Structure 1
Amino acid sequence: MSETERYPELGQVVQILQGREAGQFAIVIKKIDSRFVLLADGDKRKYDRPKKKNLSHITCTEFISPEVRRSLLETGRVTNGKLRYAINKFANEILADLKKGDQLDGERRCN
């Protein structure tokens, strides 16, 4: 597996596996180094106070929010509203399929 396959992208939705926020979804807003990323969800974890998370403690999904990614690349920031919108969109589109009995195909450990 190459480095680009394993490393989460900006704007990618991930599920937190370890810690107080285990089971919740967040969005990658910054890559720190080969082991850590900054996550925010726009609700409990605002853009101004992101959570530093080890890659081994998150699971990547296939969902990358184009709105969040574009905003981060163009301005270096993203609004909390846009983060909340992206997570809600992910929940409505992807997780709704899970309720029908499908597997979450794109789910894999990020590291």
Structure 2
Amino acid sequence: MSETERYPELGQVVQILQGREAGQFAIVIEKLDSRFVLLADGDKRKYDRPKKKNVHHISATNFISPEVQKSLLETGRVTNGKLRYAINKFANEILADLKKGDQLDGERRCN
């Protein structure tokens, strides 16, 4: 595996590339084996009904939520509220970066 395709960590925010939820963000809540992880976002995809995804169908971001990771490692569970909070925190950081003029500056203008 290359550096960009490294295996996602617990608590890491990933973008779904394939399937019905393509383009959405979720958090890795469990590693099943070398090919599959379980994802949840705390909203449409709750902790108790996670989505099983092939690691080749997701793109890992470099954002790992310390709160989610700590909760999963200590108790083996995480609240849906914590998942939603982590994704919102990630989204706010990405939007803040984009406002600074990062890569999507010219691509988003359709008018």
Q: List gaps (5 residues or longer) in structure 2.
A: none
Q: Is the 8 A contact 1:60 1:108 kept in 2?
A: no
Q: Which runs of 5+ in 1 are unaligned?
A: none
Task: Give the secondary-structure state (helix, strand or coil) at the position aligned to 1:7.
Answer: coil
**CA 1:97/1:3 → structure 2, altered by over 3 Å: closer, same or farther?**
closer
Query: Scaled by the length of structure 2, what TM-score is found?
Result: 0.86
Contact kept, 8 Å, 2:38 with 2:50, in 1: the verdict is: yes
Question: CA offsets per residue over residues 27-86 of structure 1, 9 Å max, x none?
Answer: 000000000000000000000000000011000000000000000000000000000000
Distance 1:106 1:62, change over 3 A: farther
1 or 2 for the larger relative contact order (CA 8 Å, sep ≥6)?
Answer: 1
The structure with the largest alpha-carbon Rg is 2
- In structure 2, relative to structure 1, the CA distance for the partners of 1:43 and 1:60 (3 Å cut) is same
Instruction: Find the counterpart in structure 2 of residue 80 from structure 1.
Output: 80
TM-score, structure 1 as length reference: 0.86
Deviation at 1:102, TM superposition (A): 1.2
Tell me if the contact between 1:68 and 1:78 (Cα under 8 Å) persists in the aligned partners: yes
Structure 1 segments, 4+ long, off by >2 Å, are 1-5, 98-101, 103-111
Equivalent pair of 1:18/1:57 in contact (CA under 8 Å):
yes
Total equivalences in the alignment: 111
